[in-house]
Amino acid sequence: MMYPTDQLTRFTFVDQDVRGELVQLSTSYQRMLQGHDYPKPVQRLLGELMAATSLLTATLKFEGHIAIQLQGDGPVNFLAVNGSHHQQLRGIARVRSAIADDCNDLRTLMGHAHLIITLTPLQGERYQGMVSGNGDSIAEIIEGYFSQSEQLHTRVWLHADAEHAAGMLLQVMPAAGHDRSYFEHVELLTQTITAAELFSLGSEEILTWLYHDEQVEVYPPQSVSFHCGCSRERTLDALSTVPAAELREILASDGEIRMTCDYCRTEYTFTATDLQS
């Protein structure tokens, strides 16, 4: 049985100060990996970060963009996913040395790392927060960000396998104060979900199964998509910042200039005529 994927579902617990989110990705995640020859561990990390970005984008109280970067000094020295309030996401990784397919330890892959989250509203000031990225999982690091930067008790679960990515988030709302008893109750229920279930069951089925004894209000799902945003025009604009002498040298040697988008791997070709127009 097929179920809707590439969507984020928000939910709240009736008369309780706890909110939640569930995201399930497949086509958008596979599109993000397309054209990149990432090792399997990196594919998994990007899927987890993509799910995390979708979850965090849904927590924004403004229209704009979010960028989540994990930077380290290990074999994987850079992971980044950008998202918008329309749930349009794109991501990239940089790998600087060989990685075994069975290496799944985050500390080994990233080394000493830090997490940077940048919020850019369409109206208002840009905000950037940074926390330690030295954790056993991306979920743990994201939880640390909320603890230090937002002071909101938050739990995150993330899974990815190069075909599917999924995540869940539970968060105490400010009105709850210091009372976390109900949160701890639904947290225990939520942590029973497995990656296989998140990949194979529909969101409604998951929420009903997890919280069948709770009163849950589920909101209409929001579609999630891969969206790069590159274009021939923007790429040509980027070339305008390159010294003219350097461009002439490339044209004299190759007859054309080829530019490939780091995110979607689309290739753009420009001639001398294009650069003069």
Amino acid (1-letter code) at residue 189: L
Which residues are CB-neighbours of 272 under 8 A, at least 6 positions away?
251
Look up the CATH superfamily of 7-226: Hsp33 domain (3.55.30.10)
pLDDT in tens, the chain (277 residues): 445 689 999 999 999 999 999 999 999 999 999 999 999 999 999 999 999 999 999 888 778 999 999 999 999 999 999 999 999 999 999 999 989 988 989 999 999 999 999 999 988 899 998 999 888 999 999 999 988 876 788 999 999 998 999 999 999 987 766 678 899 999 999 999 999 999 999 999 999 999 999 999 999 999 999 999 889 988 888 888 888 888 889 898 988 899 889 999 999 998 888 887 6
The H or E element containing residue 169 is: strand 165-172
Which pTM value belongs to this model?
Answer: 0.92
Sign of the Cα torsion 185, 187, 193, 198 reads positive
Q: Give the tokens for residue 169.
A: 């988030």
Residues 48 and 138 sit within 8 Å (Cβ to Cβ): yes
Topology classification of domain 232-276: CBS domain Like (3.90.1280)
Question: C-alpha 274: how far from its chain's center?
Answer: 35
Cα separation, 12 vs 124, in Å, equals 28
Cα separation, 202 vs 24, in Å, equals 9
Cα separation, 177 vs 165, in Å, equals 33
The CA–CA distances, whole Å, from 49 to 6, 9, 43, 56, 88 equal 15, 17, 10, 10, 14
pLDDT score recorded for residue 274? 84
Residues 115 and 68 sit within 8 Å (Cβ to Cβ): yes
Domain ranges in the chain? 7-226, 232-276
What digits encode the pLDDT tens for the residues 224-251? 999 998 899 888 888 888 888 888 898 9
